[in-house]
Amino acid sequence: MARVSLLMLTCDDIDSAIVNLEATKGAVDEQIVVDSSGKADKGKLLRYAKKNHKLRVHEGIALGIPEPCMPFALNKCRNDWILLLDADEHPCPDFLGLLASFRPEAEANYITRYETPNRKFSTWQLRLFKKGSVQWLGLLHEHPQVLGRKLRLPRRFYLDHVKSGARRGYRKLQLFIREPRMRRILVDLYIQTKYDPSKLLWMFKRSMSDAKRTREEKEISRVVTSEGLIKFLGLDRKGRMEELIKRYRGKRQGEELLLDLVKRRYRQIRRDVGRGR
């Protein structure tokens, strides 16, 4: 049987995260949480960690999305096999049973995630994979490259996703989505029909507004979606994430910080090119 590390990157919704940690602790070898929540939530998580010997909590940084933090988080896991869960993804009992006696048949395993309470709308999500067999660019809603065999688990294994809806600031990060603008808008509209068709016109107007980009943002989008946020910001370099955590500890983090880091890096590259470096 393979030894599995559960990996969770948290920024809020610590109550839901603790529910998931408690539910999964008997099915995995260790639990790793990279946490960037506020003082109150962090304290709640650390108090729970004292009761759960499998759990290790590491300080993280909030960048609005978890994908750029993946190299840092994966390095905290001792095992080769990773179960990646969001705080608001609830595994079904059959999936927990599979984990407890997991015998890998593929390097990357995709699982059904139900996006609505009535379970009429689902997506396939990469949630169980071998470390080193998946390459991340660090982009929003990324489907990372898999080096090896892929497998879709039977639908009796699933996650229930408690979706609270995207924050306004979060939507600014659609700048880092690979799909062209109109495709992204169509995806938004399709999802909205599954949640609340009565707000379809509202979603269309918001998507059109959010998809507008300045000339600089268009160029940033082209560069970043080509090489990825991880490489662009050097987040795969040893010590880089620790440096950011130290620099921005106690300061404003989140979507605005990520956008600021990207724009500063882009402008620095432009200056260096202008100087012939």
Q: What is the pLDDT of residues 221-231, one digit of tens each?
A: 889 988 999 99
pLDDT at 276: 65
* pTM for this entry: 0.88
Residue 157 lies in a domain: no
Contact yes or no for 9/69 (Cβ under 8 A): yes
Checking if the pLDDT of 164 tops 90, the result is no
One-letter amino acid for residue 14 of the chain: I
Residue 225 lies in a domain: yes
Residue 13 lies in a domain: no
Contact yes or no for 23/88 (Cβ under 8 A): no
Residue 222 lies in a domain: yes
Residue 109 lies in a domain: no
pLDDT at 84: 98
Residue 183 lies in a domain: yes
Q: How many domains does the chain divide into?
A: 1
Provide the domain limits for residue 176.
168-274
The tokens of 31 are what?
């639990």
Residue 47 lies in a domain: no
pLDDT band (50, 70, 90) for residue 92: very high
Task: Work out the angle between the directed axes of helices 255-274 and 215-227 (0-180°, nearest 10).
Answer: 90
Residue 179 lies in a domain: yes
Contact yes or no for 236/74 (Cβ under 8 A): no
Intra-chain end-to-end CA distance of the chain, in Å: 52
What's the chain's average pLDDT? 89
